Chains A and B, each alone.
Chain A
Amino acid sequence: MPGPREAVLKKGLLTLAVVVVYALHQDVWFWRTARPLVFGFLPIGLAYHAGYSILAGLLMWLLVTHAWPHRLEEEAEKRGEPRPR
């Protein structure tokens, strides 16, 4: 179980990872060019964003592994059936 300092550091790093991935969406560097054609047919701008989707999947794996709301899950599972409204 991480100490308070490690927990804050982990939270900070994960937040930074989210911000960096969000910023990478704005890929101005491939704005005006179609070449190289990846696999001979995919314009680079499109291939970049396909790769970006895979990166988003990796980011989500990281978040699910290291920032899963365990406490919320345990509390909800513990309470079992919802109380009638």
Chain B
Amino acid sequence: MIPAAIVFAYLAGVVYIGVFAFRQARGKEEVEDYFLANRSLGPFVFLMSLFGTNMTAFAILGSSGHAFNNGIVTYGLMASSSAVVIPLTLLLVGTRVWALGKTHGFITPVQLFRDRWETSHIGTVIFAVQAALLVPYIIIGVMGGGTTLEAVSGGLVPFWLGGAVVALVVMTYVFFGGMRGTAWVNTLQTVLFLAFGTIAFVVIGAGMGGFRSSAEAMLSSPLSYLMTRERISPSYFFSYTFIPLSSIAFPHITIFCLTARKMGQFRKTVVLYPLCIMALWLPCVFMGVMANRANDVPRIQEKIEARRALATQGQSLPRAQRDELRAKMEADDVLLLLLQRYAPAWLAGLLGAGIMAAVMASDSQILALSTMFTEDVFAHYEGKSRFGEAAQVHMGRAFVIGLTIVAYVAALRAPQSIFSLAIQYAFTGFAALSPLLVAALFWRSSTKWGALATTVWVAAAVIAVAVFQAMVTAPPPGPPIVVAKVAGLDLLARTPGGTAVLGFMPVVPMVLVSALVMFVVSALTPKPSEGTIARYFPARPAAGGRA
């Protein structure tokens, strides 16, 4: 009960921050204040909040769960690739988005696209695809909340209730605090989960009798492959370097780039981002792997047994039984189980609050969708001019409530693990949409038709992957099911974890084809007017000047 009480106290504190931010706004019902914190965030809040926004339930629960079943490869797949790609995109794309927002007053990426490519309805299509891809990401937050509260309370708070509590808390502080409240809460959360991640590492290490002996024992056990990457193909590993391209294309990150008071605030964020990633992911991944040595935690042993049964008998088992084993080996709660076993109750509560903090990072996505709806649909189609700015903010708040309820209902029905759900749809889709931003900001000749073709391609490809995976059942761990071959190569295959195209994850061909579609269609269609191009690409001073 003590851990659950501490977590609930933390949740109350978070709600208070949202209400406090509401009071700071002093009743102003201004769009830029509610949705962008008046473009006034300082360097510390900007870094911590941006990092916290990127690190959702997926980062802390999904990473340790994935590492439990797949080993140390998890860090290289997502953390170290993000450590280089995300800050690079913040430097190249984020700073330009900030400057354009500052000079043109943009609040959402679709506003930028509409202005840059002189279009209206194509912007609405982009909005629809972005919104559809963002919703699963929000669901992850609710699912993570349910999993965490259930585990922290030792099953006393069931999944459905935990998800409801987290959804209600997030909805409340986003509703009241808008971007300012969300940024403050994210900053607190990031500080908490960075600090408590370190404490958890020390406590669990001591509880397991020291990581040195656990690592040695692991290496002399049949599970030693989890300490290497021998069961992962290099092409699959390489594919993951495309996934972090999604970060800057996620509307909540693009929008967040607009909240900085000065461009200089990107400097520290870009440099410190890789180190923050290491500080959070390294302990989570390592503890996830080491959880395999927690011989005295029955629920962890059940997961290991299920994994073993699937690997050894999977080929001969009926589909229903394989699905049952897959569900049993899902390990998103493994870090919490370690805490319950090895940390004293009060510390488990504090650490649970830290994990809760990471789980609740879906607030930014909820706010972003609300911002996009009110700006890209309500205001764009004359709602703002007819009903006024205050009505737009009210509309945004009503949208927050509606969206949270939809996400909660979906979370109760979604069967897949947090990790795979996020990767397969939201991350892949947004990575494939990243050529839109790059083309808008760096390529004078890009056109609205190129943007439309790219968006339609991404939507169709995501649906195609989802349909393919629904139609072809995932094989048990081992060789994939090859569906199409070309010149002796496996063109299309169903793998235990998803889909492979020529051995790569779908994100690789999707991003490359997106860029190609943008290039070819733009080359064949009329460019925006010279006036618009000149606003985005002003004449440069003579070479030798500053970049």
How far in angstroms is the closest Cβ of chain B from A59?
Answer: 7
Q: How far is the CB of A47 from chain B (nearest CB, A)?
A: 9
Q: Does B87 contact A (CB under 8 A)?
A: yes
User: Given known contacts A41-B211, A46-B286, A85-B104, is B272 in contact with A57 (CB within 8 Å)?
Assistant: yes
Pair A82/B104 contact, Cβ less than 8 Å:
yes
A13 within 8 A of B: no
| Residues of A with C-beta under 8 A to B546 | 1, 70-71
In chain B, residues 145-162, which have Cβ atoms closer than 8 Å to a Cβ of chain A? none
* CB under 8 Å from chain A, chain B span 59-87: 72-73, 75-76, 79-81, 83-84, 87
Chain A interface residue bracket vs B: 35 or more
Chain A 31-68: CB-based contact to B (< 8 A → 1; otherwise 0): 11111010011110110011011101101110110011
Query: Is A31 a contact of B215 with CB atoms below 8 Å?
Result: no
Residue of B nearest to A32 (CB): B230
The answer to whether A71 and B547 touch across the interface, beta carbons within 8 angstroms, is yes
Contact A21:B219 (CB < 8 A) given known A32-B228, A41-B214, A71-B545:
no
Bound Cα distance A42, B44 (Å)? 31
What are the residues of chain B within 8 A of A53 when measuring CB–CB?
Answer: 79-80, 83, 274-275, 277-278, 282
**Given A1-B544, A69-B96, A72-B96, does the pair A54, B215 have CB atoms closer than 8 Å?**
no
Q: A residues within 8 A CB of B275? A: 53-54, 57
Within 8 A of A (CB), among B113-140: none
Task: Indicate if the CB atoms of B271 and A43 lie closer than 8 Å.
Answer: no
Tell me if A60 and B271 are in contact (CB < 8 A). Answer: yes
A83–B103 touching, CB < 8 Å:
yes
Q: In residues 1-36 of chain A, which contact B (Cβ within 8 Å)?
A: 1-4, 7, 18, 21-22, 25-28, 30-35
Q: Is B402 an interface residue (CB 8 A)?
A: no
A60 touching B270, Cβ below 8 Å:
yes
Interchain pairs with CB closer than 8 A, number: 167
**Interface presence of B388 (CB below 8 A):** no
B252 CB to closest chain A CB (Å) equals 20
User: Which of B171-179, B259-267, B355-363 forms part of the interface with chain A?
Assistant: B259-267
The answer to whether B88 and A60 have CB atoms under 8 Å apart is: yes
CB distance from A44 to the nearest CB of B (A): 9
Chain A residues whose CB sits within 8 angstroms of the CB of B544 once the complex forms: 1-4, 7
* A interface SS class: helix
Residues of B within 8 Å of A70, CB to CB, are 546-547
Closest to B72 in A: A46
B72 touches A43 (CB 8 A): yes
A-chain residues with CB within 8 Å of residue B106 when the two chains form the complex = 82, 85
What separation, in Å, do the CA atoms of A22 and B241 have in the docked complex?
9
CB of B264 within 8 A of CB of A73, answer yes
Docked-complex contact A31 and B547, CB < 8 angstroms:
no
Check B328 for interface membership: any CB of A closer than 8 A. no
Chain B nearest Cβ from A41, distance in angstroms: 4
Contact for B267 among A26, A34, A68, A85, CB less than 8 A: A68
Q: Tally B residues with Cβ within 8 Å of A.
A: 62
Q: Does B470 contact A (CB under 8 A)?
A: no
- Structural contact, A50 and B282, CB atoms closer than 8 A: yes
CB neighbours of B541 from chain A (8 A)? 71
Q: Known interface pairs A40-B212, A64-B271, A71-B545. Does A54 touch B278 (Cβ–Cβ under 8 Å)?
A: yes
B95 within 8 A of A: yes
Q: Which of B88, B98, B238, B277 has the most CB of A within 10 A?
A: B88
Question: B199 contacts the other chain (Cβ, under 8 Å)?
Answer: no
A57 to chain B, nearest CB (A): 4
Contact A73 B274 (CB under 8 A): no
Give chain B interface residues in 512-547, CB to chain A under 8 Å. 538, 540-541, 543-547
| List of B residues within 8 angstroms of A26 by Cβ | 234, 237-238
Q: How far is the CB of A77 from chain B (nearest CB, A)?
A: 7
A37:B215 contact, CB within 8 angstroms: yes
Chain B contacts for A72, CB-based, 8 A? 95-96, 99, 263
Q: Across the interface, do A82 and B103 meet the contact criterion of CB distance under 8 Å?
A: yes
Which residues of B from 205 to 261 have beta carbons under 8 Å from A?
A: 211-212, 214-216, 219, 224, 227-230, 234, 237-238, 241
Assembled-state Cα–Cα distance A30/B87 (Å): 25
Q: Which residue of B lies closest to A10 (CB)?
A: B547
A32 to B79: give the CA distance in the assembly, Å.
Answer: 20
Whether B455 sits at the interface, judged by CB under 8 Å, is no
Q: Which of A25, A31, A69, A82 lies in contact with B229, CB distance below 8 A? A: A31
B274 A57 Cβ-Cβ under 8 A: yes
Bound CA–CA A36/B473 (angstroms): 39
Are A50 and B278 interface neighbours, CB within 8 A?
yes
Determine the distance from Cα of A30 to Cα of B229 in the docked complex, in whole angstroms: 8
23 interchain pairs, CB-CB under 8 A: A1-B544, A18-B88, A30-B229, A31-B228, A32-B228, A33-B228, A45-B229, A46-B72, A50-B75, A56-B80, A56-B87, A57-B274, A57-B275, A60-B87, A63-B88, A68-B267, A70-B547, A77-B262, A82-B102, A83-B103, A83-B104, A85-B104, A85-B111
B positions within 8 Å CB-CB of A: 39, 72-73, 75-76, 79-81, 83-84, 87-88, 91, 95-96, 98-99, 101-106, 111, 211-212, 214-216, 219, 224, 227-230, 234, 237-238, 241, 262-264, 267, 270-275, 277-278, 282, 285-286, 538, 540-541, 543-547
- A18-B88, A31-B228, A50-B278 given; 16 more Cβ-contact pairs under 8 Å: A7-B547, A22-B84, A26-B234, A27-B76, A32-B228, A34-B224, A42-B286, A50-B282, A56-B80, A61-B271, A63-B91, A67-B547, A70-B547, A71-B546, A75-B99, A76-B102
The 9 closest A-B pairs by CB, nearest first: A82-B105, A34-B227, A53-B278, A56-B274, A76-B99, A4-B543, A41-B211, A49-B80, A57-B274
